[in-house]
C-alpha cells in the first residue's frame, strides 16, 4: 500500500479493521445476533462511519467472507514459478490455516445452527465463501488441464475432490468437537495424503509429480504462515 495516497491507505486500513471486527462479532453472536451498532462498536467506529463503508449487515458479511476467500486463492491467482505441485501444496496449507481457525470454525457452527430458521444466512455464507472458493479452484485446475498437466472431464468434480481430500475429515471433526486440538502434524498427515491421492487420480505424469511432492515435503513439510 506504500505507493497509494495517504487517504486511500487510511481507508484500506480502516476497512480491514472493520472486516476483522466483523469476523469477531459474527463468530461470537452469529449472523442474526449481530447488529450494525455492535459491529461499529467492535471496530471502534460510529455507526454513521460504518455505513460509509458498508451499507448493510448483508454487505459487510459478504465482504468479510470474500476477504478470507481471496487470501486462500492468492497462490492460485499468482502461481509460483516452482510449478503446479508447489501451488497445490501451498494452497492446501493456506486453506487449512484459514478454515481451521477457531473464529472461523465458530462462525461455521453458528451458521449451521441458524440455517434452519434463517435459510438466507446459509445462502449468503455459501455464495460469499465456499461457492467463490470453488470457482477459483476450478479456474486454476482448468489452467493446468489446458497446459497438459492435469486430465479430467469435470472441473467442478476435480475441484471438489481436491477440496475434500486435503481437509474434509479433520475439519468435520473440529466443527463438531470444539475442544479438539488438531496439531500441525495431524493436518500434515491429511493434507499430504490428499495431495498424493489427487495427483495419482488427475496428474498426466503422476510419477514425476509425486516425486516432486515428496522432495517438497522433505524440504518444507509445512509452509510457514499463520496457524
Q: What is the pLDDT of residue 227?
A: 41
Domain count, the chain: 1
The CATH code of the domain that includes 87 is: 1.10.357.10
Return the pLDDT at 20: 86
- Cα–Cα distance for residue pair 4/16, rounded to 1 Å: 16
Whether residue 144 is contained in a domain is answered as yes
**Residue located via cell numbers 471502534:** 44
Q: In this structure, is residue 54 part of a structural domain?
A: no
Residue 41: alpha-carbon gap to chain centroid: 26
If one counts every other C-beta atom within 10 angstroms of the C-beta of residue 146, the result is 9
Tens of pLDDT, residue by residue, the chain (227 residues):
556 788 787 888 888 889 888 888 887 887 778 899 999 999 999 999 999 999 988 888 878 776 666 667 788 888 888 999 999 999 999 889 888 988 888 878 877 877 787 787 778 777 777 888 899 999 999 999 999 999 999 999 999 999 999 999 999 999 888 888 888 999 999 999 999 999 999 999 999 999 999 999 998 777 665 44
Asked if residue 28 is part of any domain, the answer here is: no
DSSP string for 69-93:
HHHHHHHHHS--TT-HHHHHHHHHH
Q: Residue 151, Cα to own-chain centre: how many angstroms?
A: 25
Is there a domain that residue 170 lies in? Answer: yes
| pLDDT attached to residue 131 | 84
Q: Give the domain range for residue 156.
A: 64-219
- Domain-located, residue 131: yes
Say if 73 falls within a structural domain: yes
pLDDT of residue 68: 62
Pull the grid cell for residue 72: 486462500
CA separation for the pair 227, 214 (Å, rounded): 22
In a domain, 34, yes or no: no
- Rg, Å, the chain Cα set: 19
Contacts 24+ apart (CB under 8 A), 219-224: 221/188, 221/192, 222/93, 222/184, 222/188, 223/89, 223/90, 223/93
pTM, to two decimals: 0.76
Report the pLDDT value the prediction gives residue 187, as an integer from 0 to 100.
93
Q: Is 148 left (phi over 0), alpha (psi -120 to 50) or beta?
A: left
Q: Is residue 225 domain-resident? A: no
Show the cell assigned to 19: 472486516
139's CB contacts (< 8 A; 6+ apart) are 76
Handedness of CA 35, 37, 38, 43 (dihedral sign): positive
Amino acid at each position: 500500500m506504500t505507493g497509494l495516497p495517504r487517504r486511500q491507505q487510511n481507508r484500506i486500513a480502516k476497512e480491514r479493521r472493520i472486516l476483522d471486527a466483523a469476523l469477531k462479532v459474527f463468530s461470537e453472536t452469529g449472523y442474526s445476533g449481530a447488529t450494525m451498532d455492535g459491529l461499529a462498536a467492535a471496530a471502534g467506529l460510529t455507526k454513521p462511519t460504518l455505513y460509509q463503508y458498508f451499507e448493510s449487515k448483508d454487505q459487510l458479511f459478504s465482504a468479510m467472507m470474500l476477504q478470507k476467500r481471496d487470501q486462500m486463492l492468492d497462490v492460485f491467482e499468482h502461481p509460483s514459478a516452482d510449478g503446479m505441485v508447489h501451488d497445490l501444496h501451498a494452497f492446501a496449507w493456506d486453506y487449512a490455516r484459514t478454515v481451521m481457525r477457531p473464529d472461523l470454525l465458530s462462525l461455521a457452527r453458528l451458521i449451521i445452527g441458524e440455517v434452519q430458521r434463517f435459510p438466507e444466512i446459509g445462502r449468503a455464507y455459501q455464495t460469499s465463501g465456499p461457492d467463490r472458493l470453488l470457482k477459483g479452484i476450478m479456474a486454476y485446475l482448468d489452467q493446468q488441464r489446458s497446459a497438459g498437466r492435469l486430465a479430467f472431464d469435470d472441473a467442478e468434480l476435480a475441484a471438489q475432490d481436491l477440496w475434500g481430500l486435503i481437509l474434509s475429515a479433520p475439519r468435520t471433526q473440529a466443527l463438531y468437537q470444539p475442544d479438539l486440538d488438531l496439531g500441525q502434524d495431524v493436518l500434515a498427515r491429511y493434507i499430504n495424503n490428499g495431495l498424493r491421492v489427487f495427483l495419482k487420480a488427475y496428474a498426466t505424469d503422476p510419477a514425476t509429480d509425486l516425486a516432486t511432492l515428496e522432495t517438497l515435503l522433505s524440504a518444507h513439510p509445512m509452509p510457514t504462515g499463520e496457524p
